[in-house]
Amino acid sequence: MNPFVAIDAQQAVPDRFALVLAASARSRALKAGAEPRVEPKRQATEELALEEIATGAISQEELLPFLPAPAPKRLARPH
């Protein structure tokens, strides 16, 4: 596997845990018969899923369920 694909995928999904969840969900979809969104190069579905995330073939909207929720904003205490 090209190590730069994983680095590029982390640009799209900075949280490593979320990246693993997103890539594994996409990999399961590919194994179930989903059409690849990039040209497959005789690679495992896990690598193909990471490449799709890295190249932007998976939209941010599709990645949203895997991203952590933003931290709630705290109000400053009154003086």
Write out pLDDT tens, residues 29-73. 999 999 999 999 888 999 999 999 999 999 999 999 988 888 788
Tally of domains in the chain: 1
Whether 45 maps to a domain, the answer reads yes
pLDDT band at 13; cut points 50, 70, 90:
very high
Q: Which domain covers residue 39, as residue numbers?
A: 3-66
pLDDT at 3 over 90: no
pLDDT reported for residue 74: 80
Whether 39 maps to a domain, the answer reads yes
pLDDT reported for residue 59: 93
Contact (CB, 8 A) for 25 and 34: no
Non-local (6+) Cβ contacts of 60 within 8 A are 12
**Alpha-carbon distance 23 to 47, whole Å?**
9
Please state the pTM of the whole predicted model. 0.83
